[in-house]
Amino acid sequence: MATTVGYPLVKTVRALAGKRLLVEFSNGVSKVYDCTPLLAGDVFRPLTDEVLFRSVRVDGPGYAVVWNDRIDLAESELWLNGKTTTPGDVG
């Protein structure tokens, strides 16, 4: 029987300074994800606009964070490449 790797779902997301996201997962872990490296790509380039970047929200079930119909990040990307943090560490 095959098993699949599951990642915790996204519970909340908040845009931070420096094009970073504070992501809280369903297992209670919080991570900071740096979006800066993505901004050079065509898909993510619109996120250089601060108003758009700050409009980030969790998709309904928590499988991604989304900005619009074309820009999103999966929970696995956020989980694997985010840096674990505690609430007092984030500003």
* Domains in the chain: ranges and CATH: 10-80 (3.30.2020.10)
d(CA 50, CA 17): 10
Which residues of the chain are under the pLDDT cut of 70? 1-5, 87-88, 90-91
Rounded to 5 degrees, what are φ and ψ at 78?
Answer: -65, -40
Burial code (b: 16+ CB inside 10 Å, e: under 16) for 57-68 equals: ebbeebebbbbe
Which tens digit of pLDDT belongs to each residue from 29-52? 999 999 999 999 999 999 999 999
The reply to whether the predicted model has a pTM over 0.75 is: yes
Q: For the chain, what percent of residues have pLDDT higher than 90?
A: 86
Which two tokens mark 37? 């490296």
